[in-house]
Every structure is written in structure tokens, then in C-alpha cells.
Chain A
């Protein structure tokens, strides 16, 4: 009795398995579809049914005639992702899955260039990151060559070509030795995007002043203040003159004007006058003798 029951149950399982296999076999899906492309799904059986295509990125529901091919027009499935397909008809339900992949041709670049302003002559000072998207704003995950070009006011432009990985490409470039605006462009296929990078002079490189007596006072004036690449340091940069004399000290802070700093200080015999800006010390002058 036990044996017969087991054989009967076994038969049911085989039969059920066979029906399931047949049912699953009647729904034929593409493995992958390019976003926005037309495609069709083949169904088996007869009668009316409902077809669902379900994913977080998109959902579709169609009333269908079983046994016919169900066609999807260009643009119907445009979001890349993994989709569950469910076909219901009568008492049976079939399911499957397929993937929608991004269009290989890039259409939009998300280009992040940093910083927007930096000192000249800085190694790897500028970074560019590009995320590559297709026309439906899907991330293009296929490796795609992305070229970065930095061209500015002086010197040869820098160009790097990087192949994107998982939809992203990045690079680092040096700022130019001359101050001024530079155009930073990223290009993938026929699409390009650009940013403007301001390259400003760096810190002063050296500082030198001259002194000239004017009556009872000394007129102090620096030579034009420049960075190590020869760019004029911006007006407004503070230069500090310090005079140390017998029993006292005087300090004057002067902003650069037209590239130089000027001031007057009392002329004490034997005084020591020094000049500095930022972390740069200039020359020192000892005035007269006691």
C-alpha cells in the first residue's frame, strides 16, 4: 500500500514537473535587449492572458492573446535593468527574466572638474571625473574611451584618454605654469562637455626691497612680487615691513598695489629693516651707523 501511494505521488510530481516545463517552454524571451530597441516575446497556449514586465526601473502590463508574439515598439523598454516577466492566462502562470542594457553610444556626460580655481604649477592639482550616460540616462557600463584635454593660456595642452570602467572614467592633470583661465574638456564619442578652471599665481617665491631716505624718513619699496613661475602675485597680498631700532620696533602691513608694496618708516640710525609676505622672508637692511 505504501509502495503504491509512493508511486502515485511520484507520478503526480513527474506530471506536474512536465506541465511546468512545458509551460515555461512556451514563453520565449530575449536574454538581453538594448534600451529603446524593439523586441518581441513569444507566448504559447491559447486564450487571453496578461503579460507583466516588472523591475524597479520600469513596469509594463499588457493584455495579450496567448499563442502570439507580443511586440514591443522602439522606446517601450528604455531603462536599463533586470526585469521579471510574468505571463498569466487562465489558471497558469509562467515567468522568466531578461536584461535591458544601456545603448553603447554615449549621449550625456556627467563631468565633475575640481577645483574651479587653483595655483599654477601644481602637480595632479586638477581632477576630472566623467560618468557616461546614454540617451535614456542609463549608465553606459561597457568600456568607453573618454578623452580629457586641458588647454590654457600658455604652453601645450595636456591630453589623456582613459577607458571607462563601470561607466566612470577619471584623470588628474597638472595646472599650467602661467596664470589664466584654462578650458577642461571631456569627450566620449561625439559628446563633449567642458569646464573653466582658473589658474592663479602661487605663493611669492622671493622678496626684495630697496630703501631711500626722504628727509627724516625712509621710503621702502619692494621689487615686483612674483611666484616661482614668474607670475605676478595678486594685488592686495599683504607685505609686512618691520623696523627694529634701539629700544623699539615698528611694523607696517601694506597691500601689494600694481605688484609692489611701498611705505615710509622713521630713519633711526642703526635700525634693522626687514620685509616678509606669507612664509617668505625678504632681504634685511641695516640703516646708517650710530
Chain B
């Protein structure tokens, strides 16, 4: 008998979902990341490898930011921040330490769009609509945890081995 339809191959589908579930459960503390398609980001052509590296390094910077602000350790910024961004975050950490405050930034979701790649390749700008939780701790006593959705503008510049965040600034949505 020929019906024209192929029987559904359940086994591969189940395996695929199992793998997906494993991936999601294993990485449940990782933020979800969506990178908008970048057909054109300005004067310079953006290669896929560059885009991947920039997004990877930017997300890593969020991880460093969280560690640095949670532990009030400026040194944790060194790997991923330079220039103005590093100076401002360092000032915040110094102020937090002085006041006995810690803040925990847990990024939940990023919607990243690369918007500008300079003609000489020395800077790249992205806009990230990010969902994150902020926990405020005063003298080791948690005060509040709030969910925040904000739009961040970041400018990254290349260093010897990676891209580092030079400008990191939230703007009104």
C-alpha cells in the first residue's frame, strides 16, 4: 500500500528533544541570547567570526560585571573592560565597598543587535535589550531583588586576544 506519506520517525525526534532538554537543563543558569541578523552594520563588512567573537566577549563582560559588583572586586573587570566603562564600574565598586553594599546582576536574556563597525575596524557598537535581576545587599542583608529590562549601548574595541567593552551605558527604552 502506498499512501504518499512517510511514517514519522519518532526515535530521532525523541533523541533530539532529549538532547535539547539536557542542554537547557545543564545550562539553566545561562542567559538566553538572541542576535539580530546583521545585514549591514555600517562602513565595514562584518565577518561572521568577528560577530561571534564580539557577542561572546560582550556576554563574558556581563559575567565579569556581575562577579565584580557582587564581590566588590575591581580586578575582575580587567579581563573584559577598558577605558570609560572600566573607570565608571570601578568607581561604582569603590562606592559600594565604602557603603557596605553589594549588588548581584543576573542576566536572564539578551537581544543583541550590532549597529556599527568602524571603517578601520577599531570599534564596534551594539545595542542590547537585556532582562536581568538585580539583588541589593546592604551589609550582607538582602534588601530586594528586582527584575529589570533595559537597553544598553556598548562599544567594544579589539585588544591582543579579545574584544573589550569600552563604553557601557543604559539608555531609556
Interface residues of A (CB under 8 A from B): 31-32, 50, 52, 54-61, 79-82, 84, 86, 88, 93, 95, 97, 99, 101-102, 112, 114-115, 127, 129, 131, 133, 137-139, 141, 165-168, 170, 172
Contacts and interface: CB of A to CB of B under 8 A. Distances in A.
A50 B119 contact: no
A139 B155 contact: yes
Given A54-B136, A56-B168, A114 B144 contact: no
A59 B148 contact: no
Contacts, number: 127
Q: Which residue, of A99, A114, A168, A172, has the highest number of chain B Cβ atoms within 10 A?
A: A168
B120 to A, nearest CB: 4
B81 to A, nearest CB: 11
Contact of A131 (B65, B69, B143, B167): B167
Contacts of A141: 153, 169, 171
Interface in B76-120: 84, 87-89, 91-92, 95-96, 99, 101, 103, 105, 115-116, 118-120
Contacts of A58: 88, 91-92, 95
B89 A56 contact: yes
Contact of B101 (A61, A112, A131): A61
Given A31-B172, A60-B95, 16 more contacts: A52-B101, A56-B69, A57-B169, A57-B170, A82-B150, A84-B136, A88-B144, A112-B122, A112-B123, A114-B122, A115-B120, A127-B43, A129-B122, A137-B88, A166-B153, A168-B118
Contact of A99 (B69, B125, B171): B171
B169 A138 contact: yes
21 contacts: A56-B92, A57-B169, A59-B99, A61-B99, A61-B138, A80-B169, A80-B170, A82-B150, A86-B143, A86-B146, A88-B143, A112-B122, A115-B120, A127-B119, A129-B122, A131-B167, A137-B84, A138-B169, A139-B155, A167-B167, A172-B43
A54 B69 CA distance: 11
Given A61-B99, A99-B171, A112-B122, A166 B116 contact: yes
A172 B119 contact: yes
Contacts of A95: 144, 146
A127 B89 contact: no
A54 to B, nearest CB: 6
B158 interface: no
B153 A114 contact: no
Nearest to B100: A61
Interface residues of B, number: 41
Nearest to A108: B84
B148 A131 contact: no
A167 to B, nearest CB: 7
Q: Which residue, of A55, A59, A84, A137, has the highest number of chain B Cβ atoms within 10 A?
A: A59
Interface in B131-145: 134, 136, 138, 143-144
B138 A50 contact: yes
B119 A170 contact: yes
B55 interface: no
A133 B88 CA distance: 14
A60 B136 CA distance: 12
A139 B88 CA distance: 13
Q: Which residue, of B105, B125, B155, B170, has the highest number of chain A Cβ atoms within 10 A?
A: B170
B92 A129 contact: no
